[in-house]
Structure formats: structure tokens, C-alpha cells
Amino acid sequence: MIRKLLLLAAAGASLGFNVVRDVGGDGPIVFATPSVTMELQQNGSADIGDGSDLQAIRDAMNEWNQVACSSFQFVDGGTGTSRGIGADGINRITFLENNWPGYAAGAGAFTLRERVSGSPDRWTEFDIQINGQDTSWATDGSAQLPDIRSAVVHELGHGLGLQHASHPEASMYFSVRLGTTFARTLHADDAAGVCYLYPTQSFSCRTDDECPLLHGSYGGPNARTRCSGGTCVEGSAAPYGSGCFESGHCASGLCLVDPLEPPASEPGFCSEPCPSGTCPSGDYCASTSSGPRCIVGRDDCAEDADCGGNPNVCARQLDGRFTCQRLCLRNSACMSVPGAVCHGGTGENPAGFCRVPGAGAPGTPCEHGLQCASLSCSAGGVQPTCDDSVPGYDGTVLPPPDASVPDTAVPPNDAGRADAASRDAGGPLSDDAETLMPGRDAGVTIGLDTNEAPIDLVGSGCRCTPQMRRHPWSFALLLFGVLGLAPRRRLRKPGH
Ligand SMILES: [Zn+2]
């Protein structure tokens, strides 16, 4: 109950969300009834042997179920053997360890939605496929692997009708980073989205941030809505940080493309000038060819060049925000960052990041790893908690934290560990002397929902691309007005 109240309160701080426009109407496409039963393919992930994979999926469903202002419920329909998708009357979540479909090539996970055309259009079913063929998965917050629960929260959001959000801290942001778990818990934007689509009573807005960006996936214009007399109506005067498709959607007249340069089908965000160098929410004030502009969800950088060069990069922090972070292979490389350890470091590439452990002891409720002494918010049930792992890598294989080992059972290699640690601390094997390569997701890991509007079948979901998609970001002010209004092909081209 505490958590439900928190989510309700948080929903008031939304910056906006994105839904699929019903071509024949002026509202969104939703399920006719706010209850969808999910069948879990019984084998789960081949990477997980302790059942935590299926539990992660159930926890992800519960994350959406507990939003107080929403009536939507995912119902656990138990496990089954089929991996089938399409219009078979069953909403299924399955891992595919081989025969990953070509239409989702490169994707880490994929949601296939179906709808019936009518007045209004309705979603009728969806299925989620997760790529176990090309991607290894984790449930324990492993710093170099994608998190099953976070990915499923995102895909379920597509399933119930949401598109991608503009804020990097939202679970519905188009990109996720390996090793982060913040997307397990919904951001205010995500909660506002499900409450708009499936309100507990008839919908009545109070503020503009409770109204959606309408994505014209099936046709019709992309539109910004605002609250007028309790109803969301088309109209554009969105405040800083809101999602937008064109400059006219923003009160500032500035709709900027996300620095990660998603495809043109994705929303941008309303920016504003920052001549004094300060921005709302502590966001980054970037220098652009048109003057200083605020960049949503970034603390101190928009691209690597803002961070002073290797080994510093502009990467997603464990809370979802982008910050300048130092790459490392082991703890000794992090001495310039007070209190930091090399999170995700293994002594070899891909590199980890120098991060400062938080205060949370094991079992402490958390929303992201920075709140935890272990840097890992990956334990617990519906409410994630800090786990008891040991963060960082000191150059040796760390002994397991096993309290059952009696004091007399001193590991025989203790002396060796000490030697290795002291050598690294002052020796020539510092990371500065090595070539550091960030993890494969240093640019972007997830794709998007291009939603090229097939007639009766639409794909959506996430693409965890194995390759970096990192272009030099020009601040050429690629206003979404131009890109968002580009002609749409009527092809069956599922997005990801
Ligand atoms: Zn997605």
C-alpha cells in the first residue's frame, strides 16, 4: 500500500508519455477490458536455472498492477509449453534460444501487438518474445548483462498500449543499459501513461502532464494534447522535458532530438534556452550552434566529448540519468573518484564504471543500484531491495560472501589476493595504461517501436542491439516537426 501511494503521488510529476493514436478517433487504442491474462512459456531463459526468470516476469506484471490510479491488471495465467505467437487467443511471454525471427533481427526482445479496426480500434492480444539466442540474460543485477525484469516491464508497457517515453529515467525510454535495474520500477511518466489509458474511474485530467502525446502509428498526425476542462484535447504548450514531435508542441518552441539519435519515429523532448547555464531538475546545459539548450535527463554531458576524453564517457548511470563516468577494469583505476569501486570490472574489457556505493544495506528497498552498498538493486519481490553482493573488482577473484564458512576455514589463497591487490594499487598495471573499451551498450542497447502500421498486426518492443549506435551528435536542431511528419510507408515492418 505504501508503494501504491508513492506511485500515485509520483504520477503528478510526470513529464509526459506516448500512446498509439486511434486513427478513427481522437483518443488512444486500448484493450476493451483492463485485464489481460499472460501465459509464461515454461522453460523461461536457458541462462537462468533457479526459476528467477519466471519470477522476474511475474514481478514485472505486478509492477504495472500496483499503480493506484490505474485499473489495468496483468493476470498470471500460469505456464505453458507453446512458443506460438499471433492471434491464437493467448498472450504469451517466451524466450527463444534459437530460430530468432528475421523480422526482429538484432532485437533483444520484441512485442507483437494485434488490434481490430473498428470504431474505436482496440488491442486484442499481444505476445512478447525475448532473444536468448543472441543475448545472455540475468536476474541478479549482473553489471554486464541485461536485466530480465526491466526488459519485461518495458515490453509489457508496449503490450498495454504505451509507446516510448522521452525521459531517460522512464521504463518506457527507448534505450536501456546493461547492468541497470532502475526500469524495474515505474517512473512517474510510465504510471501516468497507464492511468490515462486505463483510469480507475472515467478519466479526468487536472494538469497537462496527465495528457498524452498521440503517436500516429496507423495514420493521422502525431499530436500533443493538453488538459482542458478535465479532458485531454489537442493543443500545444508543453513545458520543459515533455515529449514532442515538432517544435510547435513545446511552449519554448524547441523540440530537440534525443542525443542518442533515435529514429525519426521516436519523440523528442521540449528543451529551453539556458543562458545562465542552469536547467530544470539539474539537467545539462549544452552548447549548441543555436545557443545554450537544456538536455533532459542528463546531469553533466550529452556526449562523450563533454567528459574530457577517454577513459571518461557520457553513459547512463544506475538511476537512468546520463553522467560523465570513468571506465575501469579494476578498483585501482578509480582512486581519482573518492569512494568509488570499479562496478562491473573484471580485469578485462568490456570495462566497468567507477561508481560510489550507496548506503543501503542488503534488504533495503531501492529503485536503483546507487542506493545500495552493493550497487545492486536486484533482490526482493515486487519491491526491489539491495542485494548482498560485493561491488567492484580489486584485481582478484573475490571470495563468495558465505557466512556459513567457519572462521578457521581461511581461504588458502589469501596471501595471493593481498599481493595482487597491493600490486595493482600502486603498480604499472593501472587501467590508464591499458586500452579501455566500454561495454557493448555504451551507445544504445535498445531499439524502438517504429510501428510502421501494418493493417492488422503491429510489432513493437525493444531491440537490444549488440552493436553501438553512436553517432557524433550535432546540435543542428533536428526538429522533430520535419522528421515526425515524414510520409509513412504502409508496410508490415514491425519495430522493436
Ligand atoms: Zn520499446
Q: Are 314 and 301 in contact (CB under 8 A)?
A: yes
Q: Give Cα separations from 79 to 44, 76, 165 (angstroms).
A: 9, 9, 31
Buried b (16+ CB within 10 A) or exposed e, 274-296: beeeebeeebbbbebeeebbbbb
pLDDT, mean of residues 294-313: 93
Residue with grid cell 480507475, as numbered in its chain: 200
**2-11 and 188-197 helices cross at what angle (nearest 10)?**
90
pLDDT value at residue 64: 98
**Ligand 1 centroid from CA 469, angstroms:** 16
Residues spanned by CATH 3.40.390.10 within the chain? 2-203+444-484
Ligand 1 centroid vs 125 CA: distance in angstroms?
A: 17
Could you give the C-alpha distances from 299 to 40, 238, 282, 284, 296, in angstroms and in order?
Answer: 39, 22, 6, 5, 9
CATH number assigned to the domain covering 2-203+444-484: 3.40.390.10
Mean pLDDT of the region 125-154 = 94
Mean pLDDT of all residues belonging to the chain? 79
CA of 461 from ligand 1 middle (Å) equals: 4
Contact in structure between 387 and 362 (CB atoms under 8 Å): yes
Residue whose grid cell is 506516448: 18
178 CA from centroid of ligand 1 (Å): 15
Decide if pLDDT at 426 tops 50.
no
Q: How far is the CA of 199 from the centre of ligand 1 (A)?
A: 22
Give the span between the Cα atoms of 399 and 117, in whole angstroms.
Answer: 59
pLDDT of 16 reads 82
Stronger pLDDT, 408 or 482, i.e. the higher one = 408
More confident residue, 400 or 175: 175
Confidence of residue 272 (pLDDT cuts 50, 70, 90): very high
Query: pLDDT > 70: what percent of the chain?
Result: 77
Give the pLDDT confidence score for residue 54 in this predicted structure.
98
Q: What SS3 state is found at 59?
A: helix
Q: State the average pLDDT over residues 448-459.
A: 27
Host H or E run for residue 285:
strand 284-288
Q: Is 152 exposed, middle or buried (0-12, 13-18, 19+ CB in 10 A)?
A: buried
What pLDDT does 451 receive? 30
Handedness of CA 156, 237, 486, 464 (dihedral sign): negative
Distance (Å) from CA 183 to ligand 1 centroid: 12
Q: What is the pLDDT of residues 323-376, one digit of tens each?
A: 999 999 999 999 999 999 999 999 988 899 999 999 999 999 999 999 999 999
The least confident of 246-260, 295-309, 457-471 is: 457-471
Residue 131 alpha carbon to ligand 1 centre in Å: 14
**Chain segment 195-217, per-residue pLDDT in tens:** 999 999 889 999 888 999 999 88
How much distance in Å is there from the Cα of 223 to the middle of ligand 1? 20
pLDDT tens digits along 402-412: 444 333 332 22
Q: What are 179-192's pLDDT values in tens digits?
A: 999 999 999 999 99
Residue 467 has pLDDT above 70, yes or no: no
Residue 220: band (very low, low, confident or very high) from pLDDT cuts 50, 70, 90 = confident
Distance (Å) from CA 104 to ligand 1 centroid: 12
